[in-house]
């Protein structure tokens, strides 16, 4: 499981590959860490790129501040569909997050 990723794509490359402009505040990075804001392209009709917080709030938490100290940042692809934490989001809240590499310290 990855704890960091790399995105070296420029705004022009994002526009060319994904046909969406990048939002203000986007910058390429060689060290994107959990809880950073990351570029996502939601599965919506307009596919407008936006910045989102890397980390997931489990469905049973009522308030974001009630989330554990260490947020959920990744899942095993083999079992994610079986887990209560990922079931709903996996079915209905998908998005792309462009990345050019993944690594673990």
Angstrom distances, CA of residue 75 to CA of 9, 12, 33, 105: 24, 30, 16, 17
Task: Note if 82 is an active site residue.
Answer: no
Residue 80 near residue 86 (C-beta atoms within 8 A) = yes
Identify the CA nearest to 49 among candidates 79, 3, 12. 12
Which is the catalytic residue, given 2, 45, 63, 82? 2
Which is the catalytic residue, given 45, 63, 78, 104? 104
Enumerate the active-site residues.
Answer: 2, 104
């Amino acid at each position: 499981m990855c704890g960091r990723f790399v995105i070296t794509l420029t705004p022009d490359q994002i526009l060319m590959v994904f046909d969406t402009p990048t939002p203000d505040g986007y910058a390429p990075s060689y060290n994107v860490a959990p809880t950073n804001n990351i570029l996502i392209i939601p599965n919506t009709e307009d596919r407008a790129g936006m910045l989102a917080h890397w980390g997931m709030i489990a469905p049973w938490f009522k308030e974001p501040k009630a989330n554990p100290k260490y947020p959920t940042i990744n899942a095993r692809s083999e079992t994610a569909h079986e887990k209560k934490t990922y079931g709903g989001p996996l079915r209905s809240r998908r998005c792309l997050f462009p990345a050019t590499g993944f690594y673990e310290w």
